[in-house]
């Protein structure tokens, strides 16, 4: 089976690496660069001229990023199956639609309002109670297109700085930690969950994911499983879906979802029986899903901006290196290291040992270190 | 770093899959088909016209098969580093040179003689005592170019059927099982061993490898480690080397070695901390070697001739599928399944469960089932 991937970044690269052993072949359709070069044909199409050519070379289509125009996904779906389907994209590209769906399915979210002007932003901040965070409704990720309002008086400046015509305003959530759940749904409706991960962000970028998340109550994990199952079924979803949540004193609060393999699931490459990448390919190709159980404890450490002392990391007997073959640039995801251990105590020290060779790694501040 | 691979079969394919996450790229130089298509550039060169072109695109060269002409390896080594070096190839292509080297290094072998005629074959059979096996000295593998002599009177017919001018004649070894040792040596001389595997052959083709080999005495494992270390150092070897041995009532007897990643090391993909493929690439590229420790117990089950009921195998939560994207043909290696377990008893039943979906799989007859 020939699988077409929209996008040719590290996620597409890792999907292909997981898919070749299942006898799939890959064609990438890329609108920017081509870091997946070498792992299949790459069709570079800055002007959108070669989409038909791409489609003629593939049997099914998936994507590695959720910013794909929904019309493009819909156009493609008229000639080749696209998984996940266009509706998942549509929901994930629109914060209002996403939060509304969460609400409809009984998934708790931060309190939110929409704003169409500096005045309505101010009103929303007053109504919700500051601090609030304002985000452009349809664009921006990794902390871009956002502003924090400490007081309603910040509204005018925030409106100006974001520069979009429709904003979602969310009340700050007082969370103890960030967690995520990766699930996969097959063409036949079969659903499987990975153990949840605890995530550590720094300056809006994921830095560490520990899985299974330490000291997570089974009741909360079951709740989260119910939330993502509702989403998967409602969207008649096929493939891997990621759901980011906040853990609070009152339980879980959903932050956002991503209709694709997710950075907080990279630990599954050595830390689970089947990686999220293989499971996404299995789902898209219509195979039975693979075992999502953890193999011991693991922590994913992102390599951001600079490669650091890779040779020293390669010497560590518990570290698995995954490079994306990208040039160094501040804030850029260049690779990750999966650290394995038999106990959380061991994991903590091993992660710190890896992080010392990665310049600019933030302190490993998580539930294990508090 | 751009790594050139001579050959484009499944071993080259799995080397590339392991090397991309280390930011290597691959160019294959192929003298026959191209099952690695998609995983890098493939230069098909049936007439040997494009070797210079291939060499201009790579920084280092390795190979996936030992039947490469030594002169070609030597020619290449004058322009680009070739690992393992041409001397390893030379020794592995000549049974007399190989067994002589084993003897020189104190590695036990079956008793052997060389024969240049039907008469000298008969004399060798008389001297060694039948049964003996006669093998062409410089060609043949997987049981081809061989004949068994039950009595010296079989010499004329055996000579005729093999049809080579120089044969090695070996006394039959009364072995309890076949085992193998995979080791890796870095450019700096660092050596690491994987746990040994027990191998089950059927009609001259490897069918099962169980690792770590059950009930192997630590003293024997240490002996084998000493043997392969002597070979690696003597050959100033870089990369993965496989040594096949017989376990007998009197200890280990070396059968042959292969200067490459080896089918009896495929279990390392999920069964060890670092796969043999990644370690070969690490060695060739001059990186530190990866951890060779086992992750639990595993058994590699080869998929031979027909794919069987792959979908059923994909449903099994302990089975990892690796397909080579090759067409079915009797006796052909099409892929393998790595089965994981926590106990040998569990492993035995899981392997049998996998094997039932692979038509023509021989009975799983090994030390676990006797």
A22/B323 Cβ within 8 A: yes
Residue A76 distance to chain B (closest CA, Å): 23
A21/B21 Cβ within 8 A: no
Q: Which of A25, A293, A340 sits opposite B38 (nearest CB)?
A: A25
b/e for B329-358, b at 16 or more Cβ within 10 A? eeeebbbbbbbbbeeeeebbebbeebbebb
Instruction: Identify the CA nearest to B301 among candidates B317, B283, B282, B323.
Output: B323
Query: Pairing state of beta strands B205-211 and B197-202?
Result: antiparallel
Q: Which residues of A touch B23 (CB under 8 A)?
A: 323-325, 335
Query: Pairing state of beta strands A205-211 and A251-258?
Result: unpaired
Which of A16, A20, A333 best tests the B interface by mutation, with the highest count of B CBs <10 A? A20
Query: CA B216 to CA B235: how far, in whole Å?
Result: 27
CB A121 within 8 A of CB A165: no
Question: Which burial class, exposed, middle or buried, applies to A180 when counting CB atoms under 10 A from its CB (0-12, 13-18, 19+)?
Answer: buried
Q: Which residues of B touch A273 (CB under 8 A)?
A: 317-318, 340
Read off the pLDDT of residues B65-122 as tens digits, 9 standing for 90 and up.
Answer: 888 889 989 999 999 999 999 999 999 999 999 999 999 999 999 999 999 999 999 9
B39/A288 Cβ within 8 A: no
Predicted confidence at residue B145, as pLDDT, reads 82
B39/A317 Cβ within 8 A: no
Distant-in-sequence, close-in-space partners of A135: CB < 8 Å, separation ≥ 6: A95, A145, A146, A162, A167, A168, A169, A170
pLDDT in tens, chain A (370 residues): 999 999 889 999 999 999 999 999 999 998 775 556 678 888 888 887 889 999 999 999 999 988 888 998 999 999 999 999 999 999 999 999 999 999 999 999 999 999 999 999 999 999 999 999 999 998 755 556 889 999 999 999 999 999 999 999 999 999 999 999 999 999 999 999 999 999 999 988 999 999 999 999 999 999 999 999 999 999 999 999 999 999 999 999 999 999 999 999 999 999 999 999 999 999 999 999 999 999 999 999 999 999 999 999 999 999 999 999 999 999 999 999 999 999 999 999 999 999 999 999 999 999 999 8
Instruction: Identify the CA nearest to B11 among candidates B364, B265, B293, B273.
Output: B265
Give the count of beta carbons closer than 10 Å to the beta carbon of residue B69. Answer: 12
Query: Whole-number mean pLDDT of chain B?
Result: 94
Predicted confidence at residue B8, as pLDDT, reads 87
Predicted confidence at residue B31, as pLDDT, reads 78
List residues of chain A with CB under 8 Å from any CB of chain B.
13, 17, 20-23, 25-26, 37-41, 273-274, 282, 287-288, 290-291, 293, 295, 311, 314-315, 317-318, 320-325, 335, 340
Residue A342 distance to chain B (closest CA, Å): 12
DSSP per-residue codes, B195-244: PPEEEEEETTEEEEEEESPTT--HHHHHHHHHHHHHHHHHTT--EEEEEE
- The confidence band for B33, taking pLDDT boundaries of 50, 70 and 90, is low
Could you tell me if residue A68 is left (phi over 0), alpha (psi between -120 and 50 degrees) or otherwise beta? beta
Q: How far apart are the first and last CA of chain A?
A: 48
Crossing angle, helix B118-128 and helix B155-162, to 10 degrees?
120
Binding site annotation covers B141?
yes
CB A34 within 8 A of CB A327: no
Distant-in-sequence, close-in-space partners of B247: CB < 8 Å, separation ≥ 6: B175, B176, B177, B178, B179, B216, B220
Q: Which of A38, A318, A321 sits opposite B22 (nearest CB)?
A: A321
Crossing angle, helix A118-128 and helix A155-162, to 10 degrees?
120
Which helix (DSSP H) or strand (DSSP E) does residue B95 occupy? Answer: helix B95-104
- The confidence band for B370, taking pLDDT boundaries of 50, 70 and 90, is confident
Residue B73 distance to chain A (closest CA, Å): 25
B13/A273 Cβ within 8 A: no
Instruction: Identify the CA nearest to A313 among candidates A277, A366, A353.
Output: A353
The tokens 């891997």 sit on which residue? A240
| Of residues B182 and A34, more confidently modeled | B182
Crossing angle, helix B10-19 and helix B276-285, to 10 degrees?
70
Asked, as a colleague might, if the bond just before B131 is cis with ω within 30 of 0, I would say yes
Degrees to nearest 5, angle at CA B293 with B15 and B270: 50
Q: Which of B20, B23, B321 sits opposite A22 (nearest CB)?
A: B321
Q: Which residues of B touch A291 (CB under 8 A)?
A: 317-318
Phi/psi of residue B141, nearest 5 degrees: -155, 175
Query: CA A267 to CA A184: how far, in whole Å?
Result: 15
Distant-in-sequence, close-in-space partners of A356: CB < 8 Å, separation ≥ 6: none
- Minimal Cα distance from B339: which residue of A? A273
> Alpha helix (H) ranges present in chain A?
10-19, 51-56, 70-77, 86-92, 95-104, 118-128, 155-162, 218-234, 268-271, 276-285, 310-315, 344-355
Could you list the residues of A known to form a binding site, using ranges: 95, 135, 140-146, 170-173, 178, 201, 255-256
Residue B258 distance to chain A (closest CA, Å): 24
CB A285 within 8 A of CB A22: yes
Crossing angle, helix A10-19 and helix A276-285, to 10 degrees?
70
User: Domains in chain A, start-ordered, CATH in brackets?
Assistant: 2-82 (3.40.50.20), 111-171 (3.30.1490.20), 175-355 (3.30.470.20)
DSSP state of B20: G
């Amino acid at each position: 089976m020939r699988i077409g991937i929209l996008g040719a970044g590290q996620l597409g690269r890792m999907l292909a690496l997981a898919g070749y052993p299942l006898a799939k072949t890959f064609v990438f359709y890329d609108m920017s660069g081509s870091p997946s070069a070498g792992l299949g044909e790459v069709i570079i199409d800055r002007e959108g001229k070669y989409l038909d050519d791409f489609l003629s070379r593939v049997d099914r289509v998936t994507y590695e990023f959720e910013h794909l125009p929904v019309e493009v996904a819909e156009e493609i779906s008229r000639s080749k199956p696209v998984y996940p389907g266009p509706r998942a994209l549509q929901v994930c590209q629109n914060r209002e639609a996403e939060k509304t769906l969460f609400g409809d399915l009984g998934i708790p979210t931060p309190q939110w309002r929409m704003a169409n002007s500096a005045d309505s932003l101010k009103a929303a901040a007053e109504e919700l109670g500051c601090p609030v965070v304002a985000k452009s409704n349809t664009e921006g990720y990794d902390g871009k297109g956002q502003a924090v309002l400490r007081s309603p008086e910040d509204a005018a400046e925030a409106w100006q700085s974001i520069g979009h015509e429709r904003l979602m305003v969310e009340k700050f959530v007082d969370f103890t930690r960030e967690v995520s759940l990766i699930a996969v749904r097959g063409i036949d409706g079969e659903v499987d969950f990975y153990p949840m991960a605890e995530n550590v962000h720094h300056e809006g970028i994921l830095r560490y994911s520990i899985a299974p998340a330490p000291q997570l109550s089974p009741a909360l994990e079951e709740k989260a499983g119910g939330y993502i199952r509702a989403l998967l079924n409602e969207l008649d979803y096929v493939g891997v879906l990621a759901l980011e949540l906040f853990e609070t004193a009152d339980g879980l609060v959903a932050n956002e979802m991503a209709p694709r393999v997710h950075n907080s699931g990279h630990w599954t490459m050595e830390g689970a029986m089947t990686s999220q990448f293989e499971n996404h390919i299995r789902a898209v190709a219509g195979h039975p899903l693979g075992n999502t159980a953890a193999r011991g404890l693991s922590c994913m450490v992102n390599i951001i901006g600079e490669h650091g002392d890779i040779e020293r990391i390669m010497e560590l007997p518990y570290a698995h290196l995954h490079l994306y073959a990208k040039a160094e640039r501040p804030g850029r995801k260049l690779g990750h290291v999966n650290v394995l251990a038999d106990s959380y105590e061991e994991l903590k020290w091993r992660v710190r040992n890896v992080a010392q060779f990665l310049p600019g790694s933030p302190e490993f501040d998580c539930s294990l270190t508090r």
